[in-house]
Every structure is written in C-alpha cells, then in structure tokens.
Structure 1
Amino acid sequence: MDKHNHRASGPAAAAFRTEETDGIMATDYAPRTRDHGPREHRVPPVLRAPFEGRAWRELAYVVCGLPLAMVAFVLAVSTISLGAGLLVTFLGIPVLAGGLALFRGFGALERARARVLLGLDVPPPQALRKARPGAMGWIGAVLKSGVSWRHLLYGVLHMPWAVFSFSVAVVFWSYGLAALTYPLYGWAVTHADGSKGVQLYSDMDNQVYLNTPLEMALISAIGLVLVIACPWVTRALVSVDRLMVSGLLGRSALDSRVSELESDRGVVVDTAAADLRRIERDLHDGAQARLVALAMDLGLAKEKLAEDPEAAARMVDEAHGEVKVALQELRDLARGIHPAVLTDRGLDAALSAIASRCAVPVQVEVDLPARPAPAIEGIAYFTVSELLQNVSKHARATRASIEVWHTDGRLMLQVTDDGRGGASTGGGSGLAGLAERLDAVDGVLVVDSPAGGPTTVTAELPWRG
C-alpha cells in the first residue's frame, strides 16, 4: 500500500474548500458537517418543483427577457449600421462609442436581472481605463475595450435565443395549465351553451370533442405531466442564459487573472517590505548594537592595557565572548534570509536542520524526484520554518512531523503536531499571512486543527522545476 494514500493530490489538493463562518475564514479538505442541515422534504424534487419560487422566477426571467432582448437587438443593429455608415465622417466614431457605452449599461441591467431572478451573481467587468483624459480618451477607451464589444455581441445573440426560450416556456406552461384544469372549464363550456364540449379536431367528415369524464381525466393527467415537466424545461432554457450572461457580460478570464495578479503583486511587495523592515530591526537591535558595545569594550581595554593588564585581559575575554554571540546572531539572520544549506543540499537537509532546532522532536520525511524551482524551494522552506515556530511557541505539542512529496506537478508540504489544536487562518493570525504568501504564487494553505488537536497544516505549491 502506498505510504501517501492518505494525502491529497491534484492541482487543488483533492477538494480544497474555503468556508466563511462567523466572519472567520476556515479552510478544510471537505465540506464541514453542520449540526442543522437543510430540512428534508418528503415530496420528491420532481413533484415539488412547480410549487417552488425558483420555477416562477425562472419563468419570469424568460418572459421579461423577450421584450428586453428585442429592444437590445434593435439598438445593437442600429448602433452597428449607423456607426458603420458614418465612419466615412468623424461622426461614426462617437456614435459607435455611445452605443457601446449604452450596452455596458444594458449589461448592468441584465446582470441585476440574473442576480434577482436566477440567483446568478456575475461580478461586473473592470472599469474603463483611459489612456488620456477628456472626451477623446473616453471614446478611445470604450472602442478598445473588449468588454464593450462583448456586451454588444450579447445584444445581438440574445434576441433569437430569447424568442425561442419564450416560445417554448410559454407554450409548455400554457398547455400544461390549460390541460390540467380542463375538467373545470370543460364542464362549464359543455353545460353553459349546450355544446358538445371543447372541440379537439374537425374536418368535413369527423369532429372530435372532449366531453366524457374519461377524456377529461386523461387530458388532465397529460396536463399534470406537462406542469411537472415545465420547471425543468424552463431551467434547461435559462441554463443557456446563465452561460451567456457569465461569458459575455462578466469579467473575462484574462481580466480576472490580471486582477488576481495585481492583488498578488501587492501581497508580494508588502511581504518583501515587511521582511526588509524585520532584517533592519534585527540588525539594529541585535548584531549592530552588540558590535557597538564590543567596540566600546575594546576601547576601554586598550586604555587599561598599560596600567592594568589583568583588567584589560578580562575585558578582552568578555569581548571575545561577545564576538561569538554577534557571529551567531549574524548566522541566524543570514539563515533567515536564505540558508546556505538549502542552496547547497536542498529541502531534505534544510528541513532536517530546522527540525533539529525545534522545541519538540520532529520526524522529517522528504520524497522528491528532483529539486523544484529555487523560488518555490525557498517558499517551502520558510513555510515549514514558520509552522515549526508555531509548534514550538503555541501548540504545546510533544512531537511533530514534516512530510514533503511531489504529485501532479505540485509540491506538497504537511506539518502535523499533537498539540492542543485550535489554529486557524482567521483573525489576523500568522497563518493568515502565510496563506496570503502562498496564494501570491498560486499556492494553497489548508488548516485542519480541531480543538484538542491534532493539528495538520497542508501547503500546496506549484512545482515549476
């Protein structure tokens, strides 16, 4: 049996999940078990669907969508034709820009409609980025924006689909409700004017009426089937609308990636600045202060060398001890920047070195086919280092373990201790900052730390070897 069968694998560590509870972000491998789950219904979903609000909201979305789609289609065709026709003059450019801006507003309306009636929350696209101020800068930004043209494309493509979905949904609901309630009004029609009932078919030779109790019951049963099927037909129709709204009126994958990279860049810059401040503080308060005191002691020893050699010798001996302490502090500081053992011998030796300095016994297991990229290797080292510091300072553990392995192009780290538990990535803790650092390089931090322990922290990083 593989010794790593218990580990998560895959690009997302096999169902990483982030859940927000009481304002605190908690991350876990699988959905948490809730004490009070959703109420169980005795009626199956298939039979319950026609009576749920979702079915009627989706129907309202389809019905309201047709007139809006007609207006948008007319505006789109008018914008394209008028703008293209006037391009021989300067007027075509502002006409196109105005039409595209109008469709950006229409897109906001459609996103709001989808959010209210379909429960689809599509984030708005990025705002226009003007290369220069003024009206010409705004016109250029609108015309260069792919978002604007995608909104215009939505206005063109949504029209035929809105006609089709409106026709199908209204026909299904109308015929279903009419057939289901036929025994009520069919009886009334038959007895009101003395006719033979509702005519189903007629030609020169034959006439078919629905007037017997059996026929009415059969039509009502067919209507019931149609009514039960109507919500699912409508749901299938609006699934296409969902795709169109998400794909054409929301942020593109490129825009989302740019926003993510901008956010990650901010995290990296803040982290680098914090590290520089830490190094400056450690130098100023540690080695620098100790070296200043050492220089003063050596100066005094030099003055006493002629008149009191024994006192001078004692001062030199004390200064020698201070030199050793200063050297050790400088080594620790250099190790905190980037340890030489990591560069020379890799993660196995570097993690064994920091494990030997931990306050509790630590078992280290590294199973890597090769060395990852230097940057990823450094992030992995400092991640484990910070997690072991938490074990030493806060966990009250008696033992810990470190496991490192490679799977599906990802570097996996797992630090486990038998301490008191209760660790989380919320509340501005050190784990929250560590999670942000990992996220800046497309990594993931997962904390499983129930009260009473044990605590397991798993980090996933890209390999980039």
Structure 2
Amino acid sequence: MVAVTSEPAPPTTVNAPTTTTAHPPGPNRNIGLIPTASMITNAAIAVVWLWVPLTLLLVGISSIPSVIGFALAVVVFVYLMRGVEWLERLRSEAVFGMGISVPPRNISRYEGFQRWLHQLWLDISSARFWKGTAHHLLRGIYDAAVTVVAFALMVFAFAGPAAAIAIRQSDDDAGLRFLSPPLAFVLAVIALVAAAAILVLAPALDAAIDRWLLSPSPTAALKFQVNALSEARKGAVSSAHTERHRIERDLHDSVQPRLVSLAMTIGLAQTKLDNDLPEAKKLIAEAHEDAKSALVELRNVVRGIAPTILADRGLDAALSSVVQRAENLGVPASLDIHLPRRLPDETESVAYFIVAEALTNVVKHAHATQAVVTVRYDEAAEQLHVSVFDNGRGGAAITTSEEATGLRGLDERVHAANGTFSVSSPPSGPTIVTAVLPCAS
C-alpha cells in the first residue's frame, strides 16, 4: 500500500508468500556429530520444556469456564508455538541443511485490534500451526526416549560386567548371579554398539520428522495458489472498477466544467462580434485560456490512464517526472532509485501509480515540507520495493468512501499484481506508504 492513507480492508484474507527454496539434503547431513549433538541437546531441553506447552494446554482446557483465563492461555500458547516453530526451522536448517519450504500463512487484512484478533484465529485454525506444534512435541518425546535408551545401554555396557563380577565374588546368591561375567562382557559389547548406533543413526528420523511436519503439504500449497489467484482476480476486477470511477470523477470535476465554460464563452463572444468587437476579442482570449487549461487537465487524466513516458523511457524517468511535478506544486521531494534493468510492464505500471497517487495525496492533504521516494530492486528475491515517505500530518487511511478511492485503488491494484501493500500513518505523522511487487516475468 502507499504511504499516505490506509483504510480497513474488506474482511477477506490474503495468503502470505511462501519460500520455495527447498533442496534435497546432502547424503551425510542426517548423521554425524552435529545431528547427534542436536538430538542430545533437544532431549535434555525436552525433559523440562515439554511440560510448558502441555501445561498451557491443560490450563487452557481447565479454564474454559473462566473466559479470561482460557483466552489468556490460548494467546500465550499460540505465540509460544509460533516462536517455537520459527526456532525449529532455524535449527533444522543449521543441522540438516534441507532448506524446507515454509508453508503459506494466511494474513488478516483488517486493521488494529480486529486484525490482531482475526490473525490469532487464522493462526490457530491453520494446519501449519498444528503441524508445527505436533512436530515440536513429537521431536521432543522421540529425542528424549532415544537418548534415554542410548545412555541406559551405555550405563549397562560399563557397569554390567563389573556388577556381574562383584556379585559372583560375593556370598549373596541373589542379584545378577544368573549373569556370568563372560556373558556380561558379551552383552556389554552389544549394548555399547547398540548405543553408538542409536546415537549416530537416530537423527535420520529427526530429519524425516522435520520434512514430514515442517514442509507444506501438496494440498495446502495448491489451496494457497488457488486462493492467491482468486484474490488477484478480485483485486483486478475491483481495481478496474475503482479506476473507471476515478476517471469518470476526474472528467466530471475538471475537464467537463472547463469545456462547458469554454462553450459558453465562445457563444457569448459570437453575440458580441457584430456590435462590441473589443468585448468579443476579450471573450475569445478567455476562451483560448480555457481551452489551454482544459487540455492540461485532459493530459493529466490521460497520464493517469497510460503514462507515455513510462513506456518510452522506463520507470526511472517516469518517477523523476512525478517527483518534479510534486516539487512544482510546492512539496520538496527527492527520488532514490536503483533499477539494474527494465522490469515487467505490469510491475512498472503499478510502481508508477503507487508513487503518483502517494505524492498526489501528499500535495493535497499532508501539508508536508518533505517527501522521499525510494525504489529498490531485490535481485535475489526478484521483488521491487517501493516506499513513499512524507513528514506531514498523519492519519491517512484506506476507506470505503466513494469520495476517497485513491489508496483503496492502490491496495487493489497491488494485490491484483500479487504484491503486498501497507500504510503507516500515525495521527501526528509521518506517513510511510510501502509496497512489495513481484518481478518474475
């Protein structure tokens, strides 16, 4: 969205983009010293830590009659598990290097407290959240069980033969007398080998659990793509509808009155030609000025539909002209742009309209003394980052009003291009409009 106004968006949800940099794990990354150390460390932590989410879950269930207690337990549990999932992904990448793709996350498009509440519901009702929770609990239980078994075998390997010899030499017939020292030595060797095998090979199942529960399911990925395409289609239709109304409004409010005034002035001049030539000439001069003004306003409307300079000379030149126009209207503005190459036409068009509309809002409403436009291309992510800053009064908001369609149109335009749009505009300012646009052609 743009950095000038922001309104509560309709109660729909947009899916966050996903990371798709998944590559198969190296053949030796599932076993070795680091995975084993990670498994033992996780087992030691799990002995204490696993009680925390389980306690929260039990407290939440038992607090259902008390709405406040239940709500607090749910909020803490959700944030705790979201943080744990993030840490688990970092650990998995550091230990196994599998580059597991991040499942899509539904993002609320409400604002304020309603956004927070809705986002909480979206998270707790998502398969990603519960898969992450199951992953954390399953890995903790598995690592703890495997480590306990391995260390029990190692204890027997070192203590078993000594205990068997000591009991043989004692007068007590009880205890391990059935276990002869030679048999104890054989079993100790087997236990030691088994413990070593468990510690070395068990992390492979850890990696399998990571791939199983941290990866997005094919169904979830397909559903995300379908939802994203559906949202993009809705955004495109809504954007076109908003743009049509904007053009109608601009023609009705600016060009049409000029043309009506021009026609009236010319008609009045015709009545003066025969009996008051000086007055007729004066009226014709006024008509000439009205015609030039109408042409300027018509060019502005046309520029809003299809800026010629954008197609001919690219985004850099087009934005330079927009910034220069803002300076001519009394707002000092600067442009910081980095574009190594021409971008897809749709991306350049959306970026142009974001900056143009944002600066128009700054000139008309912000009472700002400075505006800064920043455009950066991220080659690694193939994304264009656009931001417009102004130091004027804040309070910009996207509204559903038919009289204020600028920012709403930008929001719809950006989402139609599968981008993200946001507006930060506290009541005292400053205002920052930002958009991230995909550039993959």
**Aligned residue identity for 1:318:** E
- Give the corresponding residue for 1:414: 387
Partner residue of 2:331 out of 346, 360, 363:
360
- Give the corresponding residue for 1:323: 291
- Give the corresponding residue for 1:271: 239
User: 8 Å contact 2:269–2:283 — kept in the other structure?
Assistant: yes
Same amino acid, percent of matched pairs: 38
Is residue 344 of structure 2 the alignment partner of residue 373 of structure 1? yes
Is residue 227 of structure 2 the alignment partner of residue 259 of structure 1? yes
Paired with 2:388 and 2:268, the residues of 1 have a C-alpha distance of: 50
- Give the corresponding residue for 1:444: 420
- Give the corresponding residue for 1:75: none
Structure 1 residue matching 2:331: 3-state secondary structure: coil
Greater relative contact order (CA < 8 Å, ≥ 6 in sequence): 2
The Cα of 1:383 is off from its aligned counterpart by: 0.6
The Cα of 1:370 is off from its aligned counterpart by: 2.2
Is residue 51 of structure 2 the alignment partner of residue 51 of structure 1? yes
Partner residue of 1:343 out of 307, 311, 315:
311
The Cα of 1:199 is off from its aligned counterpart by: 7.0
Paired with 2:438 and 2:283, the residues of 1 have a C-alpha distance of: 54
The Cα of 1:279 is off from its aligned counterpart by: 1.0
Paired with 2:312 and 2:358, the residues of 1 have a C-alpha distance of: 23
- Write out per-residue CA displacement over residues 75-126 of structure 1, whole angstroms, 9 at most, x where no aligned residue: xxxxxxxxxxxxxxxxxxxxxxxxxxxxxxxxxxxx99997897579xxxxx
**Structure 1 residues 184-195: aligned runs within 5 Å:** none
Is residue 351 of structure 2 the alignment partner of residue 401 of structure 1? no
RMSD, aligned CA: 5.0
Paired with 1:248 and 1:416, the residues of 2 have a C-alpha distance of: 37
Higher mean alpha-carbon deviation, 392-401 vs 272-281, is at 392-401
User: 8 Å contact 2:418–2:438 — kept in the other structure?
Assistant: yes
**Aligned residue identity for 1:368:** L
Q: Structure 1's 57 and 458: CA in aligned 2 closer, same or farther, altered over 3 A?
A: closer
**Aligned residue identity for 1:363:** S
The Cα of 1:360 is off from its aligned counterpart by: 1.2
The Cα of 1:331 is off from its aligned counterpart by: 0.9
- Give the corresponding residue for 1:99: none
Q: Structure 1's 260 and 399: CA in aligned 2 closer, same or farther, altered over 3 A?
A: same
Partner residue of 2:279 out of 270, 286, 311:
311
Structure 2 residue matching 1:52: 3-state secondary structure: helix
The Cα of 1:388 is off from its aligned counterpart by: 1.3
User: 8 Å contact 2:373–2:389 — kept in the other structure?
Assistant: yes
Q: Structure 1's 446 and 120: CA in aligned 2 closer, same or farther, altered over 3 A?
A: farther
Structure 2 residue matching 1:252: 3-state secondary structure: helix
**Aligned residue identity for 2:278:** E
Q: Structure 1's 363 and 311: CA in aligned 2 closer, same or farther, altered over 3 A?
A: same
**Aligned residue identity for 1:411:** L
Structure 2 residue matching 1:419: 3-state secondary structure: coil
**Aligned residue identity for 1:415:** V
**Aligned residue identity for 1:54:** L
Q: Structure 1's 332 and 307: CA in aligned 2 closer, same or farther, altered over 3 A?
A: same
User: 8 Å contact 1:298–1:319 — kept in the other structure?
Assistant: yes
The Cα of 1:375 is off from its aligned counterpart by: 1.9
User: 8 Å contact 2:333–2:372 — kept in the other structure?
Assistant: yes
**Aligned residue identity for 2:385:** M
**Aligned residue identity for 2:366:** A
User: 8 Å contact 1:376–1:461 — kept in the other structure?
Assistant: yes
Q: Structure 1's 243 and 432: CA in aligned 2 closer, same or farther, altered over 3 A?
A: farther
- Write out per-residue CA displacement over residues 260-296 of structure 1, whole angstroms, 9 at most, x where no aligned residue: 1111111111111111122122223332343234223
Structure 2 residue matching 1:371: 3-state secondary structure: coil
**Aligned residue identity for 2:388:** V
Structure 2 residue matching 1:406: 3-state secondary structure: strand
Which segments of 5 or more consecutive residues in structure 1 lack a partner in the other structure?
1-19, 26-43, 59-110, 122-161, 177-195, 209-235
Structure 1 residue matching 2:355: 3-state secondary structure: helix
Q: Structure 1's 246 and 252: CA in aligned 2 closer, same or farther, altered over 3 A?
A: farther
User: 8 Å contact 1:264–1:440 — kept in the other structure?
Assistant: yes
**Structure 1 residues 426-441: aligned runs within 5 Å:** 431=407, 433-441=409-417
Q: Structure 1's 275 and 451: CA in aligned 2 closer, same or farther, altered over 3 A?
A: closer
Q: Structure 1's 257 and 300: CA in aligned 2 closer, same or farther, altered over 3 A?
A: same
Which segments of 5 or more consecutive residues in structure 2 lack a partner in the other structure?
1-7, 14-43, 59-124, 152-171, 185-203
The Cα of 1:47 is off from its aligned counterpart by: 5.0
Partner residue of 2:354 out of 360, 369, 383:
383
- Give the corresponding residue for 2:62: none
User: 8 Å contact 2:243–2:409 — kept in the other structure?
Assistant: no
Q: Structure 1's 321 and 366: CA in aligned 2 closer, same or farther, altered over 3 A?
A: same
- Write out per-residue CA displacement over residues 12-65 of structure 1, whole angstroms, 9 at most, x where no aligned residue: xxxxxxxx9xx9x9xxxxxxxxxxxxxxxxxx955533533528979xxxxxxx
**Structure 1 residues 6-405: aligned runs within 5 Å:** 46-49=46-49, 51-54=51-54, 202=178, 251-358=219-326, 359-405=330-376
The Cα of 1:355 is off from its aligned counterpart by: 1.4
User: 8 Å contact 1:282–1:333 — kept in the other structure?
Assistant: yes
Q: Structure 1's 337 and 371: CA in aligned 2 closer, same or farther, altered over 3 A?
A: same
Q: Structure 1's 56 and 400: CA in aligned 2 closer, same or farther, altered over 3 A?
A: closer
- Give the corresponding residue for 1:227: none
**Aligned residue identity for 1:350:** A
Paired with 1:325 and 1:247, the residues of 2 have a C-alpha distance of: 60
User: 8 Å contact 1:57–1:117 — kept in the other structure?
Assistant: no
| Number of aligned residue pairs | 288
Partner residue of 1:462 out of 435, 438, 441:
438
**Aligned residue identity for 1:49:** W
TM-score normalised to the size of structure 1?
A: 0.49
Paired with 1:451 and 1:48, the residues of 2 have a C-alpha distance of: 46
